[in-house]
Structures are given as C-alpha cells and as structure tokens.
Chains A and B, each alone.
Chain A
C-alpha cells in the first residue's frame, strides 16, 4: 500500500485518508468536513487551470485547493474506477 498526498492523486482515482502532514489549526476544518482517518475519497475533477480539485466523500462533493490537499495523506486503493 503506497501512501501519497491527496493532491497527487489522478482523476478518477480512489483512496483512503490516513492522516495529516504536520499539525495545523487549518486542518481542523477539513476534519470537521469529514476528511478524517479512514474516509474513502474519489477524485472527481480538477478545475480548468489545474487547481482547485473536487473530491467525493461521504456521499457529497467538496472542492478544495491543492495546497490544502497536499497536507492530507492518502493510501491509493488498488483499482481505480
């Protein structure tokens, strides 16, 4: 199982959140939005200029910036859909 950060995932890829890189107060809001350990995420799309990105989690879609996604550790699931 390979660990990477959320912003490195490619379109349509699925992963499981493993935690956060560093400790920042800003992460707390992301956790409150459901991006906690063990959450399954799917990369839905990237904005035309490559940033931000939209992900699907817990049955809803959320757009966030790559700079924030870069702090979220994920493990890629074996098969992408």
Chain B
C-alpha cells in the first residue's frame, strides 16, 4: 500500500494530433525512463515516464495516444477523451496537459487544442517541428499566440531536443503558480445571433457546475450539443443530466427547424475562431518552387512509376525476409542444436534432461530461429515509416484493399504476416477503425507464414513430380506459387465476407496524411525495431515457453515401464555383442525405436488416434494426426514428428532426403496401399495453408482483440475452412479417379 503521507507526484499528459512528433517530445522529456503497459480492458498502449523539473521535483509524464478531437471515434481517442474528462478510474486527469502541435499545420492542430483548453486543466502549447517553420516561407508570431490563448507557447524540435529546456522551465513555472491564468480563447464574437440564443439554453444548465472556470462554459456547451452519445460527467447527476439532455435535444430540433445543421455548429464555430486567431499570428508567403518532397512524390505516387516503385520496394522486403535472413537463421538453428547437445551432457539422463532438451530448448528454439526474419522485417517497416514512404504505400494500395472491405493500412500487417502472424497482428494497431482492424486481424493468420514453408517444401519435393509444364513452367514451383496465391485469395475473400456481414460499416471515414519525406534517423529506426522485436520476444516467447512444456509432456507421457525394460535389455545385448562404430549405430537405432514406441503410446499418440475419424475423410492417418497436434507449438514440428513415427534417422541435412524416401514408400499395414499419395500430400498442404495451428497466434489475437470470443471465432472459422477445403480436394480428387 502507498504511504499516504507521501506527497503525490504531479502528473503531466501529452496530447496531440497523430504525426505531430508527440512521442519525440515525450522521449526528450523522459529520456529512457519510461515503461509501456496497456490501459486495463483495452488494447491501447499506455506509455508513462518520469522527468525531473529544474527545481528537482519528480513529475510523471503520460503519452496519450494521437487524437484529432475530443469527440472520440477510435479506441485511441476514447482513451484521450476519458482521461482528460476524468472518466477513467485507472488514470485520473493530469495536472497539466502539453498539447503538441505541428507548427506547420496550426489551423487543424488548434482544433483539438481549443477543446483541451476548455477542459479547465492547465495547458502549455508545444509548437513542434519548429525547424520546418524556420525553413519555410511562413512565420508564426508566438508572443501573440500566447497572448490570445492565455497559455504558455513553447517552440520545439523534438528530434533535436531543441527547446526542451525552455519547455521544462515552462512546466516548472506553471506548477509554481497558484492559479494559472485562464485560457481566454473566445468563440462568441463570431457567432450568429440565433446560435447564441440557442446555445444559451445549454449554457444556463451547466453554468452553475462550472463556476470555477467560466471560460470553459461556452466550448463545453458546443461539445455537448455535438455529442450524439451524451458523454460528460454532467450526466452523472441524474437531475442535471436529465435536464441537460432535454435541453440539448430541444436545441437540436429547434436548429433543425431553422434549417441549421446542428452537426456543423461546433466545427464551424471553432474553425471560424481559429481562422481569426491564425489570421493574426501566421504570415504566409506563397511559394512557387516545389519542395524536395513534392519532387519525390511526382515519382513515387505517379500513375506508372508509383506502382513500379511500390512493387520494387516490396520485392526488396520480401527478398530480404526470405533469402538474406537464411544465413543467420541456419547459424541460429545450429547454435540451438549445440546448446541442446551441451545440456544433454550437463544434465543427468532422465525426465529433467528430456524436459530441458526436448521441451524447452527445442520448443523455444523453434521460435528463436525466426528472429533474423522478424528483425529484418521490423527494420524495414521502421525504415519506411521513418522516411515517410509507408503513407505513400497506403495511398497507392488503398483502392485495391477497399475492394475487399479493408483499407490501405491493412496492407502492411498482411505483408508482415507472410513472415509471422504475430508481428502482423501487432502492426494492425495503426488501423484506427475498429471494424477495419478486426477484419484485418482475423484474416492475418491466413497469410502463409514462413513456418509453413518447410512443410510445403518437403511435401512438394516428395510428391509433386519434378517436371515442366508447357516446357517452361516448373510444376513444383507452380504448386508453391499456387499455395501462396490460395492463401492470399482466402484471406481477401474472407475479409470481404466479414466486412459485408457482421463487421459492416465504419466509425470514421478513412483519411490520412502524407508527411513530407525525410532522411531516416538511424537511431529512431533501430529503436523502433528493437521495441517491437522485444515485444514479439516477450509476448510470443513466454507463451511458447509454457506450451513447449505442455507439448513435451503430451509427447513424453505416459511412460511405458515394460517398453523401457525391453529397450534397456536391448541396449545391454548390443553392448555385449558389438563395439566401436557398429555399437554406436546399433544404439542409435534402438534409441530411435524407443522414441517411436514412446510417441505412439503417448498422450499425443492417443490424441492422434482420437482425431483420426475426423481427419480420415481428408485422407490423413493418425500419424499425420499426431503431426497436426504437434504443429500447434510450431508448424514445422510436423516434419520432425513424421520423421520419428516413420523411423527416419535424424542425420542433419540428410534427414530430408531420408524422410522423403520413407514417405514415398510408406504403405498401410491394413490395406498394403501407399499411405502418402500426391493427393494426400495436396490435401495436407491445403490444410496447412488454411488451418490456424499456432498457439502464439491465439495468444496475440486474444490480446489485441481483448476478447476470448474473437479468438475462438478465428480458430473455429479457420479450422472449418481448412477442413472443408481439404475435404473437397481429397474427395474431389478421388471422385476424378486420382488415388
């Protein structure tokens, strides 16, 4: 419990439109002293930090999400609204708000600022990106702005830490004053008489409650008039609330009768006042020459070159993920094998050794192997975000994505999902609209992630004839391409279906800005990359660690004492009868037999048998059933599971060739027919394209949607889709006479 005699620290919150460099100000103020968490119950990131004022006082700093208005339309904006209006119990309103403005775009940025001024919380206006104002032909009269708004105004360049000292001094002096000067931005001089009369009806009701800050009354009544959902602390008091609601409704209908659109009143009033304000402080000189950014955009958003550039850039990202990452990935997997070997040496033979080596090291290793890919992916994403290209990709792609009911911002998460679904789902956070975001999350696992690739490669190598079609097209390559196209087609199709049915409509129109291009800041790029990779490692890592143990248990238990005695007897016999290399080989075979026996009698084996009736119509036997169950920890485990059940000796690189051979020759003990035909392989590949078999994905979807319901829905629809499609492939193939 907190010591009650301890003086409560003062709290500052940062508020601002998206893309104002709010976070650079936050970083400059707090240095590295910050932590991130989620607001309870929602998936919005809560970033808090600490700073020391010039006087030595510690102050907590909260970086609120970006918002355009205090009438919220997204989860992010809900948070800003709720915190500033004191609705959230977990985050009380701050003692001071720093409204961060893009100094080059004051008119629109001041819209939110005027709303914040009316909350009555002391405000400092931070005019960020001041260097661009200096470079441009415009000028901003800060003194006048300060005089007209009645609050301190500090110019900054967050990136360069310029103006931060002044900002700190301004914060300290606001905290020192006993009663900060009230903001005195006024709207009334610009109002038509009729609106004044109508709004007065609302003013009368709330005036008494806002005695301590009369300057906020007018703006607050504007906000109340416009909010369809009647969000305000005034409604907590039943009597005042009812009266207020009646008045608001009567004002709306009275305005409507006079032909005035009440939903335009607030924005029009505010912008009239802001225009008047800006007219006094901003001096613009029209510029003729195109800026560097505009020159670049002539190419990058050009009708033809824009598309070419987009494809080339995405090609580079893809290339890097799938081929440049290969070297480090091989190194890592060798390192993990070594580590397993070392642990095997250190620990005594027994359940503990098995848990550490086969469970933890192998399980977590399966994920760590993907880190080079994830790091590269995050690096490129951060790089393109920082240069400003990402917004252009949204601009170029939006029309295509709109056709399936998504928007341009869904492209990046879906592209990332080709490497791994987890970072893909995390990347959906940039999508403001709830329905857009949910649809994107739900189809992200359909994008064929790189864990599926080894399975495709193995099955294609084993069962798809290495021949050419029409002399040039390689059938194996075509199959792989087909699987990827199938994954994209399924994802987009399902997205379109969801957006037309239960995820219909939007809460906000799809709008975005194209920020000016700039030279990427290596420190920012690497920092962003590291933050996201860390999130991936901690989120996915912890769940995989736990599940690796569960899966290890399922595969290793129950132990069969009779079999154990049998195998130890066989070892003794071997030790007596042979020696040297022959003995090693013999022992290897015995160990493999034991593993095989163990897997068959394990819980996983029983589960494989148990689900056999369900997967039989797809052409799968219980051995594949075990593989499917093992795949839930990591899909590529299908391969090692098949290797164990089919007695293939693991011999590093040679294992694949051995496994292919074993699969091709495997015959059913009952019918004597081949178990794995090309048709079964095709059905299995289709199943792996569409099925949701990844615990990390479950975990991240649960967290990002904030609901078990959506997670189970995703598992349910993907399993259904996978089963149905495999069924069609297998039964359809048999109907057409294939084996």
A residues neighboring B (CB under 8 Å): 19-20, 23, 25-34, 36-37, 39, 45, 47-52, 54, 58-65, 68
Q: Does B609 contact A (CB under 8 A)?
A: no
Q: Report if A34-B395 is in contact (Cβ < 8 Å); known contacts: A27-B263, A28-B226, A28-B263.
A: no
Q: How far is the CB of B508 from chain A (nearest CB, A)?
A: 5
Stretch at the interface among B297-305, B542-550, B571-579: B297-305
Q: Report if A36-B264 is in contact (Cβ < 8 Å); known contacts: A48-B301, A51-B402.
A: yes
Stretch at the interface among B510-518, B561-569, B713-721: B510-518
Q: Is the CB of A64 within 8 A of B271?
A: no
Q: Report if A32-B398 is in contact (Cβ < 8 Å); known contacts: A23-B263, A58-B108, A59-B284.
A: no
Q: Report if A48-B400 is in contact (Cβ < 8 Å); known contacts: A36-B264, A64-B510.
A: no
Q: Give a binary string over B364-402; 1 marks a CB under 8 Å from any A CB, 0 the rest.
A: 000000000000000000000000000000011011101
Q: Report how far A20 CA is from B268 CA in the complex, Å.
A: 13
Q: Is the CB of A48 within 8 A of B396?
A: yes
Query: Can you name 14 A-B residue pairings with CB atoms under 8 Å?
Result: A25-B263, A28-B267, A30-B509, A32-B267, A48-B304, A51-B399, A52-B395, A54-B514, A58-B108, A59-B106, A59-B284, A62-B512, A64-B510, A68-B510
Q: Which of B104, B105, B261, B303 contacts A48 (CB 8 A)?
A: B303
Q: Is the CB of B264 within 8 A of A31?
A: yes
Q: Is the CB of B509 within 8 A of A32?
A: no
Q: Does B306 contact A (CB under 8 A)?
A: yes
Q: Is the CB of A32 within 8 A of B511?
A: no
- Residues of chain A within 8 A (CB-CB) of B138 are 59
Q: Is the CB of B398 within 8 A of A52?
A: yes
Known: A29-B509, A36-B268, A59-B106. 12 other contacts (CB 8 A): A19-B261, A19-B264, A33-B68, A48-B301, A49-B396, A50-B399, A52-B398, A59-B284, A63-B512, A63-B514, A64-B510, A65-B509
Q: How far is the CB of B401 from chain A (nearest CB, A)?
A: 11
Q: Report how far A51 CA is from B284 CA in the complex, Å.
A: 30
- Give the interface centre of A30, A39, A47 by most chain B CB atoms within 10 Å: A47
- Give the interface centre of A34, A48, A54 by most chain B CB atoms within 10 Å: A48
- Residues of chain B within 8 A (CB-CB) of A52 are 395, 398-399, 408, 510
Q: Report how far A59 CA is from B510 CA in the complex, Å.
A: 20
- Residues of chain B within 8 A (CB-CB) of A19 are 261, 264
- Give the interface centre of A32, A50, A51, A58 by most chain B CB atoms within 10 Å: A32
Interface size class of B (residues with CB under 8 A): 35 or more
Q: How far is the CB of A10 from chain B (nearest CB, A)?
A: 14
Q: Report how far A34 CA is from B73 CA in the complex, Å.
A: 16
- Which A-chain residue is minimally distant from B408 (CB atoms)? A52
- Residues of chain B within 8 A (CB-CB) of A64 are 509-511
Q: Which of A37, A50, A59 contacts B107 (CB 8 A)?
A: A59
Q: Is the CB of A68 within 8 A of B271?
A: no
Q: Does B587 contact A (CB under 8 A)?
A: no
Restricting to B494-539, which residues have a CB under 8 Å from any CB of A? 506, 508-514
Q: Does B643 contact A (CB under 8 A)?
A: no
- Residues of chain A within 8 A (CB-CB) of B111 are 32, 34
Q: Is the CB of A47 within 8 A of B398?
A: yes
Q: Does B228 contact A (CB under 8 A)?
A: yes
The 8 A-B pairs with the shortest beta carbon distances in the complex, nearest first, are: A31-B267, A58-B107, A49-B399, A60-B105, A48-B306, A51-B399, A68-B509, A32-B69
Q: Is the CB of B264 within 8 A of A63?
A: no
Q: Which of A47, A60, A62 contacts B399 (CB 8 A)?
A: A47
Restricting to B395-419, which residues have a CB under 8 Å from any CB of A? 395-396, 398-400, 402, 408
Q: Report if A60-B108 is in contact (Cβ < 8 Å); known contacts: A51-B399, A54-B395.
A: yes
Q: Is the CB of B105 within 8 A of A33?
A: no
- Residues of chain A within 8 A (CB-CB) of B106 are 59
Q: Report if A47-B271 is in contact (Cβ < 8 Å); known contacts: A26-B508, A63-B514.
A: no
- Residues of chain B within 8 A (CB-CB) of A30 are 509, 511
Q: Report how far A72 CA is from B171 CA in the complex, Å.
A: 42
Q: Report how far A67 CA is from B351 CA in the complex, Å.
A: 64
Q: Report how far A32 CA is from B304 CA in the complex, Å.
A: 34
- Residues of chain A within 8 A (CB-CB) of B396 are 47-49
Q: Which of A25, A37, A62, A68 contacts B228 (CB 8 A)?
A: A25
Q: Report how far A64 CA is from B513 CA in the complex, Å.
A: 9
- Residues of chain A within 8 A (CB-CB) of B304 are 48
Q: Does B307 contact A (CB under 8 A)?
A: yes
Q: How far is the CB of A73 from chain B (nearest CB, A)?
A: 12
Q: Is the CB of A62 within 8 A of B509?
A: no
Q: Which of A23, A25, A34, A62 contacts B261 (CB 8 A)?
A: A23
- Residues of chain B within 8 A (CB-CB) of A60 are 104-105, 107-108, 513
- Which B-chain residue is minimally distant from A69 (CB atoms)? B509
- Residues of chain B within 8 A (CB-CB) of A45 are 297, 301
Q: Does B71 contact A (CB under 8 A)?
A: yes
- Give the interface centre of A36, A50, A51, A63 by most chain B CB atoms within 10 Å: A63
Q: How far is the CB of B139 from chain A (nearest CB, A)?
A: 13
Restricting to B237-296, which residues have a CB under 8 Å from any CB of A? 261, 263-264, 267-268, 271, 282, 284
- Which B-chain residue is minimally distant from A47 (CB atoms)? B395
Q: Give a binary string over B91-120; 1 marks a CB under 8 Å from any A CB, 0 the rest.
A: 000000000000011111001000000000
Q: Report how far A44 CA is from B304 CA in the complex, Å.
A: 17
- Residues of chain A within 8 A (CB-CB) of B108 are 33-34, 58, 60
Q: How far is the CB of B580 from chain A (nearest CB, A)?
A: 70
Q: Is the CB of A29 within 8 A of B264?
A: no
Q: Give a binary string over B306-326; 1 marks a CB under 8 Å from any A CB, 0 the rest.
A: 110000000000000000000
- Residues of chain A within 8 A (CB-CB) of B514 are 54, 61, 63
Q: Report if A48-B302 is in contact (Cβ < 8 Å); known contacts: A31-B264, A54-B514, A58-B108.
A: yes
- Which A-chain residue is minimally distant from B138 (CB atoms)? A59
Q: Is the CB of B510 within 8 A of A65?
A: yes
- Which B-chain residue is minimally distant from A68 (CB atoms)? B509
Q: Report if A26-B306 is in contact (Cβ < 8 Å); known contacts: A32-B68, A36-B264.
A: no
- Residues of chain B within 8 A (CB-CB) of A49 are 307, 396, 399-400
Q: Report how far A23 CA is from B264 CA in the complex, Å.
A: 10
Q: Report how far A25 CA is from B302 CA in the complex, Å.
A: 33
